Amino acid sequence: MSTVFTPFHATLGGLLIGFAAAMLMYFNGRIAGISGIFHAGFRPGAKIWQGLFLVGLVVGTALINNWLDLDYPIRSGFPLSVLITGGLLVGFGTRMGFGCTSGHGVCGISRRSKRSVFATLVFVITAIISTTISRHYFGVY
Amino acid sequence: MRQNTIALLSGIILGAGLALSGMTSPLKVLAFLDITGKWDASLVFVMLAAILVTMPSYHWILKRPSPVLAPRFYLPNMKHLDIRLLSGASIFGVGWGLAGYCPGPAVANLAINWKEAVPFLLAVITGGFIADYLLNRE
């Protein structure tokens, strides 16, 4: 399954993501790390702001999808076993490694954290290997 | 109270950015990771554009004694690379590459493709608790 290269929308979306992260730091002093906020939301000591941030994420996505006529492909028929295995590894790995694409990849790199730069390099490399193997050796699409 | 409003607004803007960028589509994410297939470089533009805004903003913001609404900046204080960080990152990458979702787009997909988002997020929660159980035992 191939997709269309959309540099203009990608750049605009990226700028919004960056603005949201900057805003959360400027006002609240918090890193916009979604795995951290998500995991914390299910543990003792969860804060209201964490829940609101996650609700906002869903609302923002819904608004854009309703306002704009974006035709990004929606996947269907993807094997549930692969989806759940992926989810377990993402949950385990982000908890163990203290972050994901937003926390390490955007916020961590932006504050020039050596840990985040290396974490991002590592997870992009293992993700490329994982996708290549699952698509081309096991035919998972 | 005002911090909660900011968190909600920041979440909305971030969700809008994800949806606009196309990173909410696991097919686009996997098309970026599948470098030997028909490569879709969109994700590079998303990351670079986000960092283009966040890096100079952080540089300026973190010079302040404190954020506008909170008593201090809440930043990780670990500085050195360790096995836990790199193992965790590699495991996360494997899961991301399998399913095509990292946590942000997975949450955002509650508004687009909940049939994938719900089971994936339940698995993320479970994986997080398994990590807590295994890593806090020592």
pLDDT digits (tens, 9 = 90+) for A33-48: 999 999 999 999 999 9
Question: Which residues of chain A are within 8 Å of residue B137 when distances are taken between CB atoms?
Answer: none
Summarised one tens digit per residue, pLDDT across range B54-90 is 999 999 999 999 999 999 999 999 999 999 999 999 9
Q: How close A89 comes to chain B (CA, Å)?
A: 5
Question: How far, in Å, CA of B79 to CA of B136, rounded?
Answer: 21
Q: Is the pLDDT of residue A2 over 90?
A: no
Q: If you search the block for the tokens 């404190």, which residue do you land on?
A: B66
With an 8 Å Cβ cutoff, are B49 and A17 in contact? yes
Question: Which residues of chain A are within 8 Å of residue B79 when distances are taken between CB atoms?
Answer: 114-115
Q: Is the pLDDT of residue A30 over 70?
A: yes
CB A79 within 8 A of CB A138: no
Pinpoint the alpha helices (H) of A68-79. Answer: none
User: What string of DSSP letters covers B15-54?
Assistant: HHHHHHHTTT-HHHHHHHH-TTSS--THHHHHHHHHHHHH
Question: In the structure, what pLDDT confidence band is assigned to residue B116 with cuts at 50, 70 and 90?
Answer: very high
With an 8 Å Cβ cutoff, are A127 and B96 in contact? yes
Task: Provide φ and ψ at B24, rounded to 5°.
Answer: -75, -10
Chain A interface, best mutation among B98, B101, B122, by max A CB count within 10 A: B98
Question: How far, in Å, CA of B119 to CA of B123, rounded?
Answer: 6
Chain B interface, best mutation among A1, A27, A61, A125, by max B CB count within 10 A: A61
Q: How close B66 comes to chain A (CA, Å)?
A: 7
Q: How close A28 comes to chain B (CA, Å)?
A: 5
With an 8 Å Cβ cutoff, are B17 and A132 in contact? no
With an 8 Å Cβ cutoff, are A83 and B123 in contact? yes
Summarised one tens digit per residue, pLDDT across range A111-125 is 999 999 999 999 999
From the list B30, B51, B91, which residue is nearest A89 (CB)? Answer: B91
Question: Which residues of chain B are within 8 Å of residue A18 when distances are taken between CB atoms?
Answer: 17, 49-54, 57
Chain A residue closest in CA terms to B104 = A34
Residue B56 CB coordination number (10 Å) = 13
With an 8 Å Cβ cutoff, are B126 and A91 in contact? yes
pLDDT average, residue stretch B92-119? 98
Cβ-count burial A74-86 (b if 16+ within 10 Å, e if not)? ebeebeeebbbbb
Q: For A82, how many CA atoms within 13 A lie in the half-sphere containing its CB?
A: 21
Nearest Cα to A22, choosing from B66, B108, B50, B72?
B50
CB A72 within 8 A of CB B25: yes
Radius of gyration, CA atoms only, chain A: 17
pLDDT average, residue stretch B98-103? 98
DSSP B77: -
Residue B72 CB coordination number (10 Å) = 9
Q: Is the pLDDT of residue B138 over 60?
A: no
pTM: 0.96
Q: How close B62 comes to chain A (CA, Å)?
A: 8
Q: Is the pLDDT of residue A68 over 80?
A: yes
Q: How close A45 comes to chain B (CA, Å)?
A: 15
Nearest Cα to A21, choosing from B104, B105, B58, B43?
B58
Question: How far, in Å, CA of B32 to CA of B97, rounded?
Answer: 10
Which secondary-structure segment (H or E) carries A137? none
CA-to-CA separations, A30 to B1, B33, B117, in angstroms, rounded: 15, 29, 25
